[in-house]
Amino acid sequence: MDDAVPLATTASPPHAVPPTAGVAHTLLRHTTAMFEGVDEFAVLGAARAAMAALGPFVNDAAYLLHNGLPVRCAPFTPAVSGARPHAAATARATGHPDGAGDCWMRVYALRDRDRCLGYLVVRARTAPSADEAALADLLVRQAGIALAWMARRRLERATAEEHDRLMTAEIRRDADPSATAAVLKSTGACHEALARAAASGQGEAGIVWALNEVTGLPALTEDLFGSLRVWAGPGQPPPPPGPDLGPRKELLQLARHQSGAVRDRERLIAPIAMADLGTHAGAIGVGGRCDSPAGLPHSYDEAARALTVRRRSHDPYGSTNFEELGLYRMMGAGDGEREADRFVREWLGALLDYDARHHTDLVTTLSRYLESGGSYDATSEILLIHRSTVRYRLQRIREITGHDLSDVETRLNLHVATRIRNVFHGPR
């Protein structure tokens, strides 16, 4: 679709065109005024004044797009010096009042690249000449560029004001040691909460929930088009953006090229890259908390051992926290891991060999029996077998291993051995 849309045309004699130097001066003067405006409405005012001065044009209406919807500007009242003398003479000669007898009208789209920012509705009593139409097209392109520049300048000014406000607050805080200590404590708590959320396996949702819990403010993530992904906080999520995504693209582009968040009215926006834990993206081991730099090596060692357990488990992708390993902690270190293997062979070796030779699954039966607290009924329900089958299998396990399942210490060692095996090979 063309940017300029003719609404009506009739044959008409060409108009005289001002001298080239005069036209260039007029266009330059009004273009400069557009870029010196205080806001988008001032830009449109300068564009409408220039349109009235460059040809037989009358400004009918002007619109700015706000969230994809047109907002009509105030009526345009040109200055006397801005009107073309021959156009006023034509009006007096024809005797038509303003707007009567118009045979030509166009709606110009004010664009910046592929983004529409507003519209100018222009009419004339006679069709403009080719030169006058070309000047109008040039003016419209300059107006679109000026509107886009004004929007970017307003956003940069708001960001600079927010930066100055934060810097002033930081200077005042640095002058107060107690305030500095409070900020450091709050920052540490925030980092710890976000780190735990990232390692929890809850992915994007866990981080957004943690951010809401730490700040007490609503938090959300959106895709590139503004569609909601995750929301956490009081109230309702914001409505989706309108069809005009131009302002959002500019905002995201600015956020990518500066450090920290960008303020957009009441929101702080920062581009993020999310990794889905628990998938082929990888595995994470989390060590214990350390309160001083001296504790970092020990925490790193714990994280490495937690990662080893995760990578050796039947589900090698996701996150594992060392503090949650329990008895599996001994499997993270080299000596402990070898000792764990020997422990499993000592208590389950005969049963594992029997299962391998006869294609049975007595180790799984033993594991389910011990996990259920020694209940025949619960074991039969989990394995989907009859209760008498459970009794028969447990008798075979006693015969093969020589272990007394009624002995408390024996049951404990068998339970530990089956749990270690389940981590490495997974329950069936």
Q: What is the pLDDT of residues 123-168, one digit of tens each?
A: 888 888 888 888 888 888 888 888 888 888 777 777 777 777 777 7
| Arithmetic mean of pLDDT, 356-381 | 91
Residues 288 and 347 occupy one common structural domain: no
Average pLDDT of the chain?
76
Interval 233-257 mean pLDDT: 73
Query: 247-255, long-range: CB within 8 Å, 24+ apart, which pairs?
Result: 247/151, 249/115, 250/151, 250/152, 250/155, 251/155, 252/224, 254/155, 254/156, 254/159
pLDDT at 250 over 50: yes
Question: What pLDDT is attached to residue 176?
Answer: 67
Residue 34 has a pLDDT of 81
Question: Considering 110, 126, 153, which residue would you say is the last residue of a domain?
Answer: 153
pLDDT of 410 higher than 70: yes
Same domain for 292 and 351: no
pLDDT(172) > 80: no
Q: Residue 365 falls within a domain, yes or no?
A: yes
Q: Among residues 130, 153, 176, which one ends one of the domains? A: 153
pLDDT of res. 259: 66
Averaged over 367-375, what is the pLDDT? Answer: 90
Position 87 pLDDT exceeds 90: no
Question: Residue type for 171, please?
Answer: I
What pLDDT, on the 0 to 100 scale, is given for residue 7?
A: 41
Any domain includes 325: no
Question: pTM for the whole thing?
Answer: 0.36
What average pLDDT does this structure show over 39-65? 85
Measured over the CA atoms of residue 148, residue 154, residue 158 and residue 159, the dihedral's sign is positive
Task: Answer yes or no: is pLDDT of 95 > 50.
Answer: no
212 — pLDDT class (breaks 50, 70, 90): confident
Residue 287 confidence (pLDDT): 85
More confident residue, 145 or 176: 145
Same domain, 412 and 300: no
CA distance 89 to 131: 21
Based on the fold, state whether residues 305 and 421 are members of the same structural domain: no
- My answer on whether 309 and 352 are in the same domain is no
Mean pLDDT, residues 248-269 taken together: 72
Torsion sign, CA atoms 76, 81, 87, 91: positive
Q: Across residues 236-243, what is the average pLDDT? A: 75
Assess whether 367 and 303 both reside in one domain: no
Count of domains for the chain: 3
**350 and 401 in contact (C-beta within 8 Å)?**
yes
Q: What is the pLDDT of residue 99?
A: 47
- Position 331 scores a pLDDT of 61
* Boundary (domain end) residue, out of 153, 175, 201: 153
Confidence of residue 21 (pLDDT cuts 50, 70, 90): low
For position 403, which CATH number holds? 1.10.10.2840
Flag whether 198 is in a domain: no
Amino acid at 168: T
303 and 404 co-located in one domain: no
Which pLDDT score, from 0 to 100, does residue 334 have?
Answer: 56
Asked if residue 259 is part of any domain, the answer here is no
Q: Which domain holds residue 146?
A: 4-153
Judge whether 341 and 348 are in contact, CB under 8 Å.
Answer: no
Same domain, 285 and 339: no
Residues 300 and 346 in one domain: no
Residue 133 lies in a domain: yes
**Of 179-188, 219-228, 239-248, 270-279, highest mean pLDDT:** 219-228
Indicate whether 298 and 382 sit together in one domain: no
Asked, for residue 144, whether it belongs to a domain, the answer is: yes
Q: What's residue 82's pLDDT?
A: 42
Calpha distance 191→287 (Å, rounded)? 15
Task: Name beta bridge partners: 286.
Answer: 321
Does 159 map to a domain?
no
Mean pLDDT, rounded, for 102-110: 84
Rounded CA separation 193/282 (Å): 21
